[in-house]
Structure 1
């Protein structure tokens, strides 16, 4: 099967002309040059920046979409990024997926995925060869998970033509195991994610498949009224394919249970996937962003099967009842009611859709009402993440953007290829719960630049107790962005000094629950309110975030409400993923530290928390 696939992909005739290097822009431009001015917002240039770009990180990777004059469709969708601590040194390392030229040559060694070890201080060194990585096919999605529960994170790469499973050997190197493990899916895969579907303590795998496409069926599409300007064809020209669900057998292998589990009731050109407990039953559900098909929601039946709640739940379409582009997805409690909201990013002329969780299995499109929708209409949006970037206890929202065609200006279209990233602050603390305010103007230098971005990964890259991020860009180097938010509220009067907000970082380790604790929750008291955070599988766009949790514990001045006692946080609780696991105390945790929290073998007993010495 693998040999036949290589021959098929490698024997498609002469290689078409590659497009010239795409113009990258780190400055705002004008419409005529195919650029767009960053949007305005409530932030001003005098406000403290939230983020700054990292220069000289040591990452030399440059993404290659493989696009040529033939406009091969997979090249439009880009590739993702994975964050993982592959060597267990306490730092988030990075895996970058990339495309390659068509027809695909699986033995080429130039256009390959690359991996970098985090040295601390926002410095990285390449470990692609030493770690025995460097897949040379057409890579799209990256999923990270310890599928065999040996303590070391493994990597699954979703590709066009041949998916790859890299098993972490624990000695700094990986070995390919997709054939032995039974996950050598050969469809056109995009996103993927690990999760424990049946609460048996090991990680299962969900793989999104986009559609039925080949070089032979690649159509010629053009701008309206101008056949000379070739564009990528519409997703509607591609027949959607069924996704695949692999159940972990507990012995290092997987079995295809897609049909039996109920996942093949609809095909949808899947792209983004996120796994989270959306109805509070302690079982993880699956939400999918589908391209110009209804987004899919599969609720867990708690017996190894799922039911399709797509049409009944309210998350299939926009408020107008129409399907949208469905790129990136994420889940998080944005209004503090203990239920997980959903975000899905979409195409230019639509809007990124925020679905508010109104109760078990019911959602409402509140994008415009909550301040998200209008800002996103001008852009093609991809990677996205809910994260508490300013450590006020409430989840903010980040979206990266970029059009699919760099040549639409040639046809006179107002569709710039390079777009700015967007950032919203969660205003729940002083305003309507779950509402957002755009802060793009005050966010920092990266938000004034233009890129055609795709993947997005969020992680604490410098171990300073806040969320940084990496934006993956089409045919460009990625951009590492460091969180430099001042972390404080303005003092109430001139006699007061601003108190910095503090955080605690938790790495949950399951014993009865899956090793990565996907689906587990942590609660933290802050200013009289209990915040719930959950470790989710998948998320963003074709990417995998760091599984570590960063929770705000307020400022020193909040000690009066009992949140902090003699320099320790005593109000934290954890509930590991499982059928009937109770909320358990985390004990006394010191702020500004990182803890490994290990589930007790008796699920009714409190976990053990070890503080990790500072790693920078």
Structure 2
């Protein structure tokens, strides 16, 4: 779930993304109604008439103004390999959303985590993806990579670029199962530049700081809860403090929980 004022009436609305496309009680596939925008009206909650492509489901959804038209757009993670639909541009104050599709996005990938923010300090927002890509070009070959990628869709308000501009924040070819499960964007070290944190399948948090020249440096890996399932990560402000918060779920091997780090700036 994510919160934003989609219809610009001064009240916060919500967007919901289904984490499964199956009815667990019947094992029947669900193909529609997996993304829902719900308005917070004076009369109560009201479902937006907006429709979305079928079969989209995932663990994370984020909001940001990616095209610079002043309306919050939607960025959805996907557990569906090769799904081309991640970004939905708000065209009519939440009444309809236009899917944004580009060949610049990773092919045959799982986008497991998403965030919105500005890594280059410009407006409007960039989309940030935690990506797992697995390719088998021929028998006996298997190539995979894990990446944190940022894309700028517009370089000024209301003006989309011909193709989104990509920034590679981080990429590796670690063991196949150690994918990034979520990603967060925020200023950790107080230098005015956005930094990135990736939460991996093994429970570690990869802290990546942005240098003055715009390049990114892996600062450290922080342990999570051993053997618990990593779920989400976020960067939050609490008064004068900056907090890094990670959530872990029970999985039968270990109990989950929430770990909170207060960022110490030197």
What TM-score do the two structures reach when normalised by structure 1?
0.32
Aligned match of 1:88: 8
Q: Which runs of 5+ in 1 are unaligned?
A: 1-80, 215-236, 264-285, 295-322, 410-414, 436-616
Q: Does 1:352 align with 2:189?
A: no
**How is 1:290-305 mapped onto 2 (pairs within 5 angstroms)?**
292=174
Residue 89 (structure 1) shift: 2.8
- CA separation in 2, counterparts of 1:212 and 1:358? 30
The answer to whether the Cα contact below 8 Å between 1:137 and 1:162 also exists between their aligned partners in 2 is no
SS in 2 for 1:150: coil
The answer to whether the Cα contact below 8 Å between 1:209 and 1:244 also exists between their aligned partners in 2 is no
- 1:308-327, Cα deviation, whole Å (9 max, x unpaired): xxxxxxxxxxxxxxx96543
- CA separation in 2, counterparts of 1:333 and 1:186? 30
- CA separation in 1, counterparts of 2:106 and 2:210? 34
Aligned match of 1:116: 38
Q: Does 1:394 align with 2:241?
A: yes
Aligned match of 1:139: 57
**How is 1:24-103 mapped onto 2 (pairs within 5 angstroms)?**
81-98=1-18, 99-101=20-22
- Counterpart of 1:163 (choices 85, 88, 101) is 85
Residue 398 (structure 1) shift: 1.4
SS in 2 for 1:210: strand
Aligned match of 1:564: none
- 1:514-566, Cα deviation, whole Å (9 max, x unpaired): xxxxxxxxxxxxxxxxxxxxxxxxxxxxxxxxxxxxxxxxxxxxxxxxxxxxx
Aligned match of 2:259: 422
Query: Could you say which structure has the higher strand fraction?
Result: 2
Q: Does 1:376 align with 2:221?
A: no
- CA separation in 2, counterparts of 1:326 and 1:85? 29
Aligned match of 2:68: 149
The answer to whether the Cα contact below 8 Å between 2:71 and 2:90 also exists between their aligned partners in 1 is yes
- CA separation in 1, counterparts of 2:218 and 2:106? 35
- CA separation in 2, counterparts of 1:345 and 1:397? 11
SS in 1 for 2:200: coil
Distance 1:101 1:205, change over 3 A: same
**How is 1:227-242 mapped onto 2 (pairs within 5 angstroms)?**
239-240=144-145
The answer to whether the Cα contact below 8 Å between 1:352 and 1:376 also exists between their aligned partners in 2 is no
SS in 1 for 2:57: strand
Aligned match of 2:139: none
Q: Which runs of 5+ in 2 are unaligned?
A: 137-141
Distance 1:156 1:381, change over 3 A: closer
- CA separation in 2, counterparts of 1:213 and 1:124? 47
Report how many aligned residue pairs link the two structures: 249
What TM-score do the two structures reach when normalised by structure 2?
0.64
- 1:567-601, Cα deviation, whole Å (9 max, x unpaired): xxxxxxxxxxxxxxxxxxxxxxxxxxxxxxxxxxx
- CA separation in 1, counterparts of 2:160 and 2:96? 17
Question: Which one has more relative contact order, counting CA pairs under 8 Å at least 6 apart?
Answer: 1
The answer to whether the Cα contact below 8 Å between 2:153 and 2:164 also exists between their aligned partners in 1 is yes
- CA separation in 2, counterparts of 1:207 and 1:340? 15
Q: Does 1:178 align with 2:73?
A: no
- CA separation in 2, counterparts of 1:85 and 1:290? 37
- CA separation in 2, counterparts of 1:396 and 1:356? 15
- CA separation in 2, counterparts of 1:256 and 1:344? 25
Greater radius of gyration (CA): 1
Q: Does 1:125 align with 2:45?
A: yes
Residue 137 (structure 1) shift: 1.2
Aligned match of 1:187: 108
Q: Does 1:248 align with 2:248?
A: no
Residue 83 (structure 1) shift: 2.6
The answer to whether the Cα contact below 8 Å between 2:225 and 2:256 also exists between their aligned partners in 1 is no
Distance 1:244 1:163, change over 3 A: farther
- 1:74-115, Cα deviation, whole Å (9 max, x unpaired): xxxxxxx3332101233332212223149xx998336x1223
Distance 1:109 1:343, change over 3 A: closer
Residue 182 (structure 1) shift: 7.8
Query: Could you say which structure has the higher helix fraction?
Result: 1
